[in-house]
Structure 1
Amino acid sequence: MECMKMKIGFIGLGAMGRPMASNLLTAGYEVHAFDVVEAAVKEMEGKGAIGHPSAGEMAGHVDVIICSLPNAKIVEGTMCGKNGVFENCKEGTIIIDMSSVAPNTTKGMAKKAAEKGIHYIDAPVSGGVSGAAAGTLTIMVGADDETFDKVKPIFDVLGKNIYHVGEAGGGDAIKMVNNLLLGCNMAALAEALTLGVKCGLSVETMKQVISVSSGRSYALDAKLEKFIMAGQFTGGFAVDLQYKDLGLALEASRDEKVPLPMTAAAVQVYEMARAKGQGREDMSSIVKVWEDLTGAKIHGEADPQKGA
């Protein structure tokens, strides 16, 4: 079957799913849509999608199903629940889970799907809402070679950097490892900034020196000036989402018997931020936890000469 003739079902029209589904429509695909929020379906219908009252009802009308859902419990309920996707999709249907779940969750779902003649692959993403809108996401795909080749043109619409990293579960594994590093790096940056301020250093000085030294990280490049020094924590990558991703790493660590002491400590930092009501703020807002504990002034310390 020619890829452009594939009918695509999209489940989950939230902050990430909506722009991805829109890009598929723009590329010329026939897109069928479902979300528990009826207004989201109506919005996609206004753009040319075919709306459906349930995921199960939609499943029988399409060749490929993409889902972008909040967590593993919702994914499993959508796929395996009564009148769900697995009950209603055609044999040979390809299901692409772009949600962030633990690798073993995906492996279990793929096994159940295979028993029904369904191809189940994982393809979590990095790049945020802006990347989803621009079609420049990094997509990490766990799939067999044949299935990956069939859906690669779809990924090319949604992302710029497409990595086939192994069998089902591989995509979730590499994203989990990446986000473990991001979360721990951010927690370490917040601690380091606090210590520096308490030792008499300015945030601007630390930015200038660390940016060209061995302590440099993505967290410093992406979060220090734009969020912390600007004193604004809207948008970005939420504390709640980073907390969830670290939790997935701890879940995998139990399955694989791998101790993760630094990850476990970082989880508590994000838990403190959540307890303070910062769950929806950018992950860099964890600096406020350390400010409250130590009296250090970190956020909002932009260089006034730069007009920040």
Structure 2
Amino acid sequence: MSAPKTILFVGIGNMGWPMAARLIGAGFAVAVNDAVAGRATDFVAKVGGVEAGDLAAAADQADVIITMLPTSTHVASAVAGLRDGLRKDHIVIDMSSGAPAATQAIAADLAPLGVTVLDAPVSGGVPRAVTGELAIMAGGEPAALDRVEPVLRAMGTTIHRIGGLGSGQAMKALNNLVSAGGFLIGIEALLIGQQFGIDPALMTDVLNASTGMNNSTQKKFKQFVLSRKFDSGFGLDLMVKDLSIALEVARATGVAAPFSNLCRELSASAQGLLGPGQDHTALAKLSEALAGIALKA
């Protein structure tokens, strides 16, 4: 079976745009589609490729279809639009941070057509999407992953094969659970230290030179919280969605996860307090509100 050459990329938002651009830079023929009017046209004008106005027609011409969308509900809707153009030996790669059970249901629905579904969510944010240095967590049939590895390599430097279909999405949700836990406990530590009289920026430096170091201390506290910018590029709404997926996996596997539940509830409370469209680093504002003080640069 020949290596993939043509790709239909559905969803060119904050992450999808640079990922699709990396594929064009690697020499793939890429057609792009997005639900936001004008975005695909803008991408073609600025980056290249062609606009896929008709999803089914574009799918018929592609070797691989990639979805990079906010939720599994959006993915299912896109797949419904693609369905008439899907054929035997097509590979659909869902790179969204979706729900494993939903992805498995989509795969079961497409299996009679001879279509293979893989999941391959990513970590690294927009900066690493731009440089092609994403960490990719892949799940699905090994032979299909072998076939699309050159496609994934154009977007990520590390490809972790996690297991069966849905395992990549489970891993991504659990990764974000660990990230949220580190963020929340770190913000509380900064608030405690500030009240004691320690500069939060100095605390961050000490944590980064000590065992308290984590991704939030390194890449979020000074950059987005102490600066009061709260603009890391990853939404609080998406964080709550990912934490909810992690808890769905916990329930499905029968694992008691009290701290995970607390992280999810605190994040959802921040979502309710702050309203939709907030950056996930604005989660710090909930901890500040509970403490009755604000962090100072």
**2:21 aligns to what?**
22
The Cα of 1:278 is off from its aligned counterpart by: 5.9
Q: Gaps (5+ residues) in structure 1?
A: 302-308
Deviations 1:80-100 (A, max 9, x none): x3xx22332111101000001
Q: How many pairs align?
A: 296
SS at match of 1:164: strand
Among 101, 104, 107, the residue aligned to 1:107: 104
Among 80, 83, 104, the residue aligned to 1:86: 83
**2:228 aligns to what?**
231
- Separation in 1 of the partners of 2:31 and 2:88? 18
Asked if 1:122 is matched to 2:119, the reply is: yes
Q: TM-score, normalized by length of structure 2?
A: 0.92
Q: Is the 8 A contact 1:235 1:281 kept in 2?
A: no
For residues 158 and 263 of structure 1, do their structure 2 counterparts lie closer, same or farther at Cα, with a shift above 3 Å needed? Answer: same
Deviations 1:201-229 (A, max 9, x none): 33134224333333222221222222222
Deviations 1:119-172 (A, max 9, x none): 100000011112111111111111212111111111111111111222211211
For residues 173 and 296 of structure 1, do their structure 2 counterparts lie closer, same or farther at Cα, with a shift above 3 Å needed? Answer: same
Asked if 1:219 is matched to 2:216, the reply is: yes
Among 129, 147, 150, the residue aligned to 1:150: 147
SS at match of 2:9: strand
Among 171, 178, 181, the residue aligned to 1:181: 178
For residues 55 and 255 of structure 1, do their structure 2 counterparts lie closer, same or farther at Cα, with a shift above 3 Å needed? Answer: farther
SS at match of 1:38: coil
Deviations 1:276-308 (A, max 9, x none): 32654432322222222323231x32xxxxxxx
AA matched with 2:248 = E
**2:66 aligns to what?**
66
Q: Is the 8 A contact 2:239 2:280 kept in 1?
A: yes
Asked if 1:31 is matched to 2:30, the reply is: yes
- Separation in 2 of the partners of 1:235 and 1:72? 23
Q: Is the 8 A contact 1:32 1:58 kept in 2?
A: yes
Among 175, 189, 192, the residue aligned to 2:189: 192
Q: Is the 8 A contact 2:183 2:216 kept in 1?
A: yes
- Separation in 2 of the partners of 1:251 and 1:89? 30
- Separation in 2 of the partners of 1:129 and 1:58? 26
Q: TM-score, normalized by length of structure 1?
A: 0.89
SS at match of 1:120: strand
The Cα of 1:103 is off from its aligned counterpart by: 1.8
Deviations 1:30-71 (A, max 9, x none): 112222223112123324322222322322111110010110
Q: RMSD across aligned C-alpha pairs, in angstroms?
A: 1.9
For residues 279 and 215 of structure 1, do their structure 2 counterparts lie closer, same or farther at Cα, with a shift above 3 Å needed? Answer: farther
- Separation in 2 of the partners of 1:206 and 1:235? 21
SS at match of 2:38: helix
- Separation in 2 of the partners of 1:30 and 1:242? 32
For residues 290 and 102 of structure 1, do their structure 2 counterparts lie closer, same or farther at Cα, with a shift above 3 Å needed? Answer: same
Q: Is the 8 A contact 2:66 2:92 kept in 1?
A: yes
Q: Is the 8 A contact 1:135 1:158 kept in 2?
A: yes
Q: Gaps (5+ residues) in structure 2?
A: none
Asked if 1:297 is matched to 2:291, the reply is: no
Q: Is the 8 A contact 2:134 2:156 kept in 1?
A: yes
- Separation in 2 of the partners of 1:271 and 1:89? 38
Asked if 1:164 is matched to 2:166, the reply is: no
AA matched with 2:293 = A
AA matched with 1:14 = G
Deviations 1:241-265 (A, max 9, x none): 2111111112222222222211211
- Separation in 2 of the partners of 1:130 and 1:216? 21
* Identity rate, percent: 32
Q: Is the 8 A contact 2:224 2:232 kept in 1?
A: no
